[in-house]
Amino acid sequence: MTKEIPHIQDQSTPWLKLLVEFGFQNQPFLLGSQSTSSWLARREWVLPDGRPNKEYLKKSYGNAIVPILVNGTNYESTTLTEFLENMGDPKVYLKDWHFQNEFGTSMYTLNPFFSRDFVNCEKWTTNKEENPFGDDYRFVYIGAAGSWTKFHADVVCSYSWSANICGRKKWFMMSPGSEEVFKSSSTDSGYVEDIREYPELFEQANLITFIQEPGEIVFVPSNWWHQVHNLEDTISINHNWMNSTNLSLVRDFLNKREEDVRNELSDCVDSFTKEEFEEKVEDILYADARLNKSKFLKLCELVKESRADKNDDYVCESHGLELWKCISSPDCYPSITSICSCSTSFCEKCSNFIKQLEYSIVSRFLESQLSTLYDCATTSTRLPNDFADDEKDLKTIIRYGELFKACHSSNSIDYIQKAEDVTEEEKVELKKTVTQKLANASSSEDEIPWNVNIVIGNSHVAKSLRPIIDIKMPTGETFEFDIDSFAQFRQQLAQTVLVVNPQE
Ligand SMILES: O=C(O)CCC(=O)C(=O)O
Ligand SMILES: [Fe+2]
Ligand SMILES: [Zn+2]
Ligand SMILES: [Zn+2]
């Protein structure tokens, strides 16, 4: 027995109810066809008998270059006219066509739940330079009866929604973790491509199956694996998206992928400087996951900036302004759904609430990033490379700390020789300092208390970072400097070393 998906037939269902019941809880639903009945696409792209209106499509968009997936493996390109005239082979599937980039979004409108979308519904969406994703994630799919999409989870842990303009789709779907039942060592994804070959595993995977009828919209939550079959000639519109409610899942996903990338690169870590290595990790993460840590933070900054105008704050009775806590607190759900009952548009109340929620959530990510910087600095471990160039002095200081620690643990100054991003002059200076300190340390076996503390002034404004350097010396003295005066810092460091370790 397979399970069913919740059907939302009532078009007056408040969008805040969808947010709380499905967004907050990462659960799928199917929205009734009334939700798309006013879409131009449903009228213009479809013949009265429900088949695709190929003549209209050719006339309106025929010369567009479209991507087609052949045999489920190779992407090729062709014109829409060419594709439609040969349509019929289930092995040729028009997928991931960035229709909206070329022709806009006038053929459909979005339920407020789907329009809280940091990827596709923001002012940076169409600005390739500014957009942390580099592109939008809005697509049109056209597939003949029998075409299908292999078992997969969507890119970067995003949500997707998929609306049938015409035709019907059969869906197989399962909650996160259940895909493990379908692991396979013989595919690139690490999972089987066609779960229909393993019906004996359906029950164990708690499989959900359902038919999506013309006009219906499926909400696919983050990390829910799925497989999709076109039962008739089908056209669908689909977005991959993120918002405040799945951002923490995206962040967890990036952390995990980052770990994988680091492990994969661990063999060649010595061929790079620390900073080069960090850059490599970010580049590979971006190529592989289509997002990386610095782009994720950039997204948070963009959202924060654009939500900063909210006027009346929503204040939760239990959590005050820490709205992110409401997401995992079912006790807060009734007070959220009682804000308003808007279903197809925003009133001032729900619009203020959602902006406030988004602001709270992205601010938390930005703050947790600052605490990462703090940890890195105080422990002299990895420095994230997502700080602007004007923080270069800070990087240099931490690099000095790291070098010193590395030299200390190996009891040798080799690391300074290897450090490519330290100038010759600095190397000489550093070597002198470190040699002295090492000589002292090896005789006493005492740990050298090199300790760089970065005190972050106002954690709300990353740009206003004014770190203070705090150096505790073995004598118990503490030296404190403003990071701006780095030259002064080095001079004082040298003096301090001389005080501790006088030369004859
Ligand atoms: O319709 C399809 O073939 C695939 C749709 C899909 O995977 C999605 O919407 O996430
Ligand atoms: Fe998908
Ligand atoms: Zn709350
Ligand atoms: Zn409202």
For 49-108, the DSSP string reads TSSB-HHHHHHHHTT-EEEEEETTTEEEEEEHHHHHHTTT-TTEEEEEE-HHHHH-STT-
Region 303-330: mean pLDDT is: 89
Q: Whose CA is nearest to atom 10 of ligand 1?
A: 160
Q: Using a 6 Å cutoff on CB, does residue 149 contact ligand 1?
A: yes
Q: Using a 6 Å cutoff on CB, does residue 220 contact ligand 1?
A: yes
Å from CA of 156 to ligand 3 middle: 27
End-to-end Cα spacing for the chain: 86
Average pLDDT for the chain = 84
Å from CA of 244 to ligand 1 middle: 22
pLDDT tens digits, 43-55: 999 999 999 999 9
Q: Using a 6 Å cutoff on CB, does residue 236 contact ligand 1?
A: yes
Under CATH, which number does the domain 7-243 receive? 2.60.120.650
Least confident window among 27-31, 368-372, 388-392: 388-392
The answer, as to whether pTM is greater than 0.85, is no
CA angle 204, 208, 212 (to 5 degrees): 160
Please say whether the beta carbons of 180 and 173 come within 8 A: no
pLDDT for residue 472: 55
User: How far are the Cα atoms of 105, 261, 285 from residue 278, in angstroms, in the given order?
Assistant: 39, 11, 11
Region 425-443: mean pLDDT is: 69
pLDDT for residue 367: 72
Region 247-253: mean pLDDT is: 95
Of 69, 160, 229, the residue with max ligand 1 atoms within 8 A of its CB, to mutate for a pocket test, comes to 160
Please say whether the beta carbons of 192 and 174 come within 8 A: no
Å from CA of 317 to ligand 3 middle: 6
Q: Is the pLDDT of residue 98 over 90?
A: yes
Å from CA of 335 to ligand 3 middle: 8
The domain segmentation of the chain, as residue ranges, is 7-243, 249-378, 387-500
Least confident window among 57-71, 112-126, 329-343, 413-427: 413-427
Please say whether the beta carbons of 171 and 212 come within 8 A: yes
- Strand-strand pairing, 7-8 and 29-31: parallel
Q: Using a 6 Å cutoff on CB, does residue 162 contact ligand 1?
A: yes
User: How far are the Cα atoms of 363, 400, 429, 473 from residue 502, in angstroms, in the given order?
Assistant: 48, 21, 16, 14
List phi, psi (to 5°) of 122: -125, 170
Give the ligand at the shortest distance from the Cα of 345. 4
Cα 303 from Cα 244, distance rounded (Å): 10
Split at pLDDT 50, 70, 90, the class of 467 is: very low
pLDDT for residue 470: 55
Q: Using a 6 Å cutoff on CB, does residue 139 contact ligand 1?
A: no
pLDDT for residue 475: 59
Measured from the Cα of 93, ligand 1's closest atom is: 3
Split at pLDDT 50, 70, 90, the class of 384 is: very low
Q: Is the pLDDT of residue 487 over 60?
A: no
